[in-house]
Amino acid sequence: MSEITAQRYAEEFNIPYELALIISRRFPDYQDAKDFLFPSLNQLHNPENLPDIKETITRIFEGLKNKENILIYAHDDPDGYTSATILYQTLIEIRRGSKPEIYVYTINREKDGYVLNPEVLKDYMEKGVKILITVDFGISNKTNFEVAKNMGLKLLICDHHETEQTDFPYPAVDPKRKDSKYQFRELAGVGVILKLSQLLYRTGLGINEKEFFKLKKDFLAIAMLGTLADRVMPLKENRAICYEGLKALNGTKKPWAEYFSEDRRVNIPFVFNEIIPLLQSAALEDSRLGIDFFLVEKKEDFVKIIEKLRSIENQRRADIENFFQIALNVAKVYPNLVISVIPTETSPAQSKFKVNNLGAVVSKLRDHFHKTAIGMILRENKCYAELRSYDINLFEFLKKAEHLFIDFGGHKRAAGFSMSEHNLDKFIDYATKEIPSLEGKKSNLIPEAVIDKSRIKILEPLLPFGEGNPSPLLTDNIDLYTIDNRLNIIELGLWQT
């Protein structure tokens, strides 16, 4: 039946048959296939349906009216940078004057962990900050609400991470809340902020949805980068944001966008190859670079930022490869799990390894062993960990053992925590017993299509890959292989019929 559907898709959508065959198997419904191939802003839902967003809007405007200084407290990754950038630019434009002051702070993962740092907040309170808005951060840990309350700050949470809480003492905008009625729960943090910005412009400046996306094309381009970098489910609203954002980037008159698009048309493989790694490297030296990347107004200033980030990124790649080899050497492999406790204090070079790089190392472990992977660093009697999986809910896995952690947070397929080194053996014992019971059944290796490797670019419309839209299993009648978001070919061995 899929062959008939594939032929119809190939003809009506004017796409190669092999691509149509894959899409027909994933989206047998015609409208679903059409929406996938031709994502648009019409697929975006009403932002007013997000929980607590109206109350958040009200409190922001009350703060602006009363000239109460605002601190944007952001996660230290591309999703956090893009979220903070859009919200910062929005607040600057709608405040109607030079007051109140708007500040941005991006967390330092080793110093701050996954909770609000009271010492950091004290510094900003001395600058007159009254309102604290978290972006891509804050909802997973009750401590954040307690810290804000104890310090007398007006807290507004804007997040997209998983949460088990049902009672929120402050407004908390998150499509993953259990009481959320929003139609799509998988937005990136920057997707949540894009929705918030849309309503702020409408409320403050009377700009409707159509005008917003026409006037703020750069916001779509920025949201595209954060969405792709955070590897959220690449379907529906997220897919629309990505493809509309790509179109916007190629026409945006901002130094950062013009730098990348002046002699090429930017596509998804280019974003994964060239732009996201630069943004990821910012946290290794100065997270502010991840914000200034978008905010500088002169091309020469942006070039200086790029040169700095490229230097950091080159070192980052070398460090990741070096520590991946170390992680491989010390890894303990279990039936459905690999755990690597990476030594970092046995040499000067290892002691300088950045916790921000740990996620990349653990992703490589997962892909190398094709198993759920946990990587941990021990430093000053404290354990920092990152987890990556193909098919278990890591947030629920950590939630069951939260008594072991100082803090934790994340998503279904990517999460992290910190804990006392004293709990290391307890955690490993828990993980080795619990993971097998959660692990899903492995699918049979049956190719979705026969495609010669020289024609792999015909599959670009499938990008980006992720949960709900996995990398396709392919064959050229000789090898079994797949592809990644950069359109790199990943060999899986000889194809046996």
Q: 128 and 255, same structural domain?
A: yes
The mean per-residue pLDDT over the stretch 188-196 comes to 98
- Using CA atoms, how far residue 70 sits from 93, 125, 184, 429, 487, in Å, is 14, 10, 29, 44, 42
pLDDT for 444 equals 58
pLDDT digits (tens, 9 = 90+) for 425-465: 999 999 999 987 544 444 457 899 999 999 999 999 999 99
CA–CA distances in Å: residue 225 to residues 44, 61, 317: 17, 28, 20
CA proximity to 352, closest of 381, 322, 374, 327: 322
Task: Supply the pLDDT for residue 458.
Answer: 97
Range 300-312 average pLDDT? 97
How confident is the model at residue 30, as a pLDDT? 97
**Is residue 353 predicted with pLDDT exceeding 80?**
no
84-107 average pLDDT score: 95
Torsion of CA 229, 230, 236, 240, to 10 degrees: -30
pLDDT of 94 above 80 = yes
- 186 and 111 in a common domain: yes
User: In the 8-state DSSP scheme, what is residue 262?
Assistant: T
Residue 186 domain-assigned (yes or no): yes
pLDDT of residue 255: 97
Average pLDDT over residues 262-278: 95
Please tell me the predicted confidence (pLDDT) of residue 443: 47
Let me know whether 151 and 288 are in one domain: yes
Say how many CA atoms lie within 13 Å of 271 toward its Cβ.
27
User: What was the pLDDT predicted at 187?
Assistant: 98
| Confidence (pLDDT) at 440 | 45
Of 236 and 412, the structure prediction assigns the larger pLDDT to 236
Question: Please, what is the average pLDDT of the chain?
Answer: 93
My answer on whether 65 and 178 are in the same domain is yes
pLDDT at 407 over 90: no
Does 263 reside within a domain? Answer: yes
Residue of 391, 365, 337, 472 lying closest to 24 (CA atoms): 472
pLDDT over 60 at 191, yes or no: yes
User: Which H, E and C letters describe 120-147, residue by residue?
Assistant: HHHHHHCCCEEEEEEECCCCCCHHHHHH
Q: Based on the domain organization, do 419 and 452 belong to the same domain?
A: no
**Same domain as 221, residue 73:** yes
Confidence grade of residue 1 (pLDDT, cut at 50, 70, 90): low
The domain total for the chain is 3
Shared domain for 92 and 185, answered yes or no, is: yes
| Domain CATH code at residue 410 | 3.10.310.30
Same domain membership, residue 478 and residue 423: no
User: Of 418, 438, 458, which residue is a domain's last?
Assistant: 438
**Rounded percentage of the chain residues whose pLDDT exceeds 70:** 96
User: Residue 318 falls within a domain, yes or no?
Assistant: no
Domain boundary among 273, 292, 311: 292
Question: Do 237 and 342 fall within a single domain?
Answer: no
Establish if 316 belongs to a structural domain.
Answer: no
On whether both 448 and 434 belong to a single domain, the answer is no
pLDDT of 195: 98
In tens, the pLDDT along 331-349 reads 999 988 999 998 776 555 5
Whose structure tokens read 């190629």?
Answer: 250
Give the end-to-end CA distance of the chain in Å, rounded to a whole number: 21
Residue 13 domain boundaries: 2-38+443-494
Residues 59 and 135 in one domain: yes
Q: How confident is the model at residue 492 (pLDDT cuts 50, 70, 90)?
A: confident
Q: Considering the domain boundaries, does residue 103 fall inside one? A: yes
**Global confidence as pTM:** 0.89
Q: Are residues 423 and 452 in the same domain?
A: no
In a domain, 24, yes or no: yes
